[in-house]
Structure 1
Amino acid sequence: MTAVSDTPAPVPDPLRTAALAADLDAADLRSEPLRRLWGEEADDALARGMREPILRSIDGDSGTLATLGRLLVLGMPQPRAHVIDALPRLGVDGLVALGLAEADADTVTPTALLRPQSFVDADGVGEWWIASDLDEVALDAPLPADHVLGVGGASRTLAETIVPIEVERALDLGTGCGIQALLVARRAGTVVATDISTRALAFAEINAHLNGVTNIEFRHGSMFEPVAGEAFDLIVSNPPFVITPRVEGVPAYEYRDGGLVGDALVEQFIRSAPAHLTRNGIAQLLGNWESKAAITGLARLEAWVPAELDLWVIEREELSPLGYAELWIRDGGTTPRDPGFTPLLTAWLDDFAARGVTSIGFGYVLMRRGRLGEPLRRTERIAQPVANVGAALATGLAAQDVLAEGLPATLVVAADVTEARHLMPGDDDPSVIELRQGGGFGRTISVDPALAGFVGACDGELTVVQIAAALADLFEVPLADLWADLEPRIRSLILDGILLPGE
């Protein structure tokens, strides 16, 4: 078992945190000023775990922004006199009282990171200050088991997938540093943020105070225990979904390991969440799921969701047991050059082999309760680059609701859709016609001349019936036969966001 942190959890204090926020604002501790201070190349290097380029860029600079950059962004001790100048409202004693630093007569030593984090959502562009535990670069050692992660790749991925809807009550289950709760709070009346880690809740509460967010309630507990009997319009979760062998000697990091065997934690969330959804409520999470010789991970996952719920699963990546094990061993700070790497790799591979796991999928899961008509049951693999995923999911859900009442009378082509035609040299007729989606899921869909003609005529003026009748005349086929072929494919294009209902 990996050791726990040797520093106490931070201490949320609204008054001291407000003073800290005022100091950070006065210093302009934000992404762009920092990037200008030490340069784009050095800033990019920090994202790859290298701080030396930054240190070289600001060598000899004892100004406020450079001091706070070293202290809070890089997690490096700074002279007490410089910190006093940089934090005139909070002071060194206030920073220590918040549990974000230790200090002696000469030096202030950070016990946490505090970094600006920009975001983009349906309401625009913004930036928060996010406090979290010192990372591997600052610690110069593997992470402790109770490490509270800052804003990582998974956090950003989940943030991009959240459907941008206004809700009364939302739940962020497993809030960690609180980044998802902050995002959801922008479009929710109230947010309940839960975590099994009291250390994580302390960081999340400090981050809410730092950024002036007042509509989040923090509760301690595992899974749905803190909200027993309650229902929400939106549930989001970036749970500790990493599949970890349950054997002695394998680190169990709280931020990524839920303590269960295989993908049981993701299964538990998916089976439990529907009971906590209001009518029309949505639950979204990231997760891993295991494929076995007799059944794919996507099929296993679909079986966990009640048949009456909408389900949309997008698998973004699939790894072999070896690839998965190496990814997460390295994530914990152990490399193949370290003596502990091979025993960890053996433990992971033995665990997968014993349970018959052939591959591990990663992706997004969306569930929705209570809409009319046939439920949406969609599981798919999408490997290409994606953009504005939350908006694309919202478009798909809206299309499902429209289609429950029948095809719209008129349709228009989405603004990001283009058509590509491929011809063999010397041919007049295309051998391949493709519809290409520029945003969302970036789909490329092969169509035949009849469907291409239909899409090309969807200008919002001609009705669906008029277009179909004209195509039947053009191709000299019975309208009923043409429609039987086109209608299900038109529905798919609507669900994909290629075609949109007309005004």
Structure 2
Amino acid sequence: MLPEPDPQLCQALAADLRSAGYSAAALRDAWGAQADDALARGLRGPAAGALSGRDDALAVLGRLWGLGMPVPRVAVEAALPTLGIAGAVGLGLATADHEVVPAVLVRPQAFGDDEGDVQWWIASDLDEAALEGPLPEDHVLGVGGASQTLARLQLTRRGGTALDLGTGCGIQALRLRRLVDRVVATDISERALRFTRLNALLNGVEGIETRHGSLFEPVGGETFDRVASNPPFVITPRVHGVPAYEYRDGGMEGDALVAAVIEGVGTHLAPGGVAQSLGNWEYHGEESGLDRVRGWVGPSLDAWVIEREVLDPLAYAELWVRDGGTVPGTPAYARLIEAWLDDFARRGVTGVGFGYVLLRRPLAGAPTLARYERVTGGGEGGFGPHLAACLAAHDRAALLDDADLADSVLRVAPDVTEARHHRPGEGDPSVIELRQGGGFARTLEVDPALAALVGACDGDLPVGTLVDAIAQLMEVDAAHLRADLLPRVRELLVTGFVAFED
């Protein structure tokens, strides 16, 4: 078990990391872009080679806690003048004999948000490369791909309180704390909670309370303005010999853990409160995974569920067996793959979806948002501001009847472009597409009337006036055209192709 973190030792470590210039950008510069990409794939050799022969503090700490490699005592003593080797051992970050051997990783994490740019250090358990083998079942993951995805999804709205359900190393709690006054971070793993407390102290972040327990048990009767959860959503066979990693396996059969999060979060949302989470959901025969999720959402909540991909049983099994550190081509790998496939076959699972869930308790009245969709596009940028703008546009449009919407003035989003496809020799386009450069990078096929309306939305004339003018040009009935276009204008608002002109 990781020792309870000592605040003074954490401050000393922070001072040494800061003095060494131990940042994400500095390490990437030190070992190069290619080595940095290799490290993200679990290959530390190129980065270690780039640092060999260097004894400056950045290189020493990069080998010790960036790569998880033993380092001579004399080098560590020089790199940690404030904390010292005894302090590192006292925090549970290393053991020491003739060499200092890392017990955890401490990696820099840089990001920017509306509050400014941030440079944190995040401690977590040694990864597969450092362990040179499969992960232990109580492994506490660092800032992985799923964590980064959830962070990019987070709305930037402020609030009073937040819940980080299944906090792990605490990265979501740290992010939420920048938006709210108080965060409650829960986990079934006491080891994970100690990492969360360590990381909060290391980065000088107050206002994070940790609680031990499963799902919503630690927060019974409490409500929050924000809830974030990267739950242990991986669907794992419940048979002997299959590792149950705490960071990814919730201990329930199939997608029951994700269902429990979605079904239970509503009672813990304050009016106007928003919950955002990641999840996997199963496909059974002809039943859509999105329809399964729809059945889990309470009737009093707004819901926006986005499915990014669906994997077949074999691809899903390969993904998560390899994630645990079991190497393809070994007998253990084949045995685990068979266990996954047998479990899926026994329960009639034909595929597994992955996606994002946003739930909201309306401030007043009945829910107005119920979107369950498949969206495969989108870049690596933050989706949070895009989602926030889309929600605001939906809320505003939901208060307007068709006459009010026709009186509204809209402007096409600056990232939207139009593409027209022509058959050779034909003057009129066979296909017209609106393309989104940001957000989820949607592509929408439209007809000439809607394309003309979007092109005319320059923040000057009301929608109704534009529709009437288009109807006259196309020699069609204006009332019929309004009835056709206005529902689609609402869709363009909620997907961010157009926005209200304030």
Instruction: Report the TM-score when normalising by structure 1.
Output: 0.96
The answer to whether 1:378 aligns with 2:377 is no
C-alpha contact (below 8 Å) 1:168/1:190 kept by paired residues: yes
Segments of 5+ residues of structure 2 without an aligned counterpart are: none
Partner of 2:21: 28
Aligned residue identity for 1:382: V
Partner of 2:136: 144
- SS where residue 415 of structure 1 aligns? coil
Shift of 1:374: 5.0
Partner of 2:496: 497
Aligned residue identity for 1:284: Q
Looking at structure 1, the residues matched to 450 and 204 of structure 2 have their Cα atoms a distance apart, in angstroms, of: 52
Looking at structure 2, the residues matched to 302 and 375 of structure 1 have their Cα atoms a distance apart, in angstroms, of: 15
Deviations 1:139-161 (A, max 9, x none): 11210000000111100111111
Partner of 2:218: 226
Shift of 1:296: 1.0
Looking at structure 1, the residues matched to 251 and 120 of structure 2 have their Cα atoms a distance apart, in angstroms, of: 31
The answer to whether 1:265 aligns with 2:257 is yes
Task: Give matches, 1:104-123, under 5 Å.
Answer: 104=97, 106-123=98-115
Computed over aligned residues only, the root mean square deviation of the Cα atoms, in angstroms, reads 1.3
Looking at structure 1, the residues matched to 367 and 236 of structure 2 have their Cα atoms a distance apart, in angstroms, of: 37
The answer to whether 1:336 aligns with 2:336 is no
The answer to whether 1:360 aligns with 2:352 is yes
- SS where residue 461 of structure 2 aligns? coil
* Structure 1, 401-410 or 119-128: larger mean CA deviation: 119-128
C-alpha contact (below 8 Å) 2:51/2:63 kept by paired residues: no
Partner of 1:13: 6
The answer to whether 1:392 aligns with 2:386 is yes
Partner of 2:164: 172
Partner of 2:397: 403
Aligned residue identity for 1:375: T
Shift of 1:125: 2.9
* Structure 1, 61-70 or 181-190: larger mean CA deviation: 61-70
Looking at structure 1, the residues matched to 115 and 271 of structure 2 have their Cα atoms a distance apart, in angstroms, of: 25
Looking at structure 1, the residues matched to 482 and 53 of structure 2 have their Cα atoms a distance apart, in angstroms, of: 74
Shift of 1:122: 3.1
Deviations 1:375-424 (A, max 9, x none): 21111111123343112211221112111111261100011011111122
- SS where residue 245 of structure 1 aligns? coil
The answer to whether 1:244 aligns with 2:236 is yes
Partner of 2:434: 435
Partner of 1:3: none
Looking at structure 1, the residues matched to 367 and 124 of structure 2 have their Cα atoms a distance apart, in angstroms, of: 44
Partner of 2:188: 196
Looking at structure 2, the residues matched to 449 and 38 of structure 1 have their Cα atoms a distance apart, in angstroms, of: 53
Deviations 1:27-76 (A, max 9, x none): 00111212222222222222222222222222222221111111111111
The answer to whether 1:461 aligns with 2:455 is no
C-alpha contact (below 8 Å) 2:161/2:180 kept by paired residues: yes
Looking at structure 2, the residues matched to 382 and 136 of structure 1 have their Cα atoms a distance apart, in angstroms, of: 32
Instruction: Report the TM-score when normalising by structure 2.
Output: 0.96
Task: Give matches, 1:50-129, under 5 Å.
Answer: 50-104=43-97, 106-129=98-121
Aligned residue identity for 1:410: V
The number of equivalent residue pairs is: 495
Aligned residue identity for 1:403: A
Looking at structure 1, the residues matched to 366 and 436 of structure 2 have their Cα atoms a distance apart, in angstroms, of: 27
C-alpha contact (below 8 Å) 1:29/1:65 kept by paired residues: yes
Shift of 1:120: 2.9
Partner of 2:414: 415
Segments of 5+ residues of structure 1 without an aligned counterpart are: 1-7
Partner of 1:5: none
Looking at structure 1, the residues matched to 367 and 85 of structure 2 have their Cα atoms a distance apart, in angstroms, of: 61
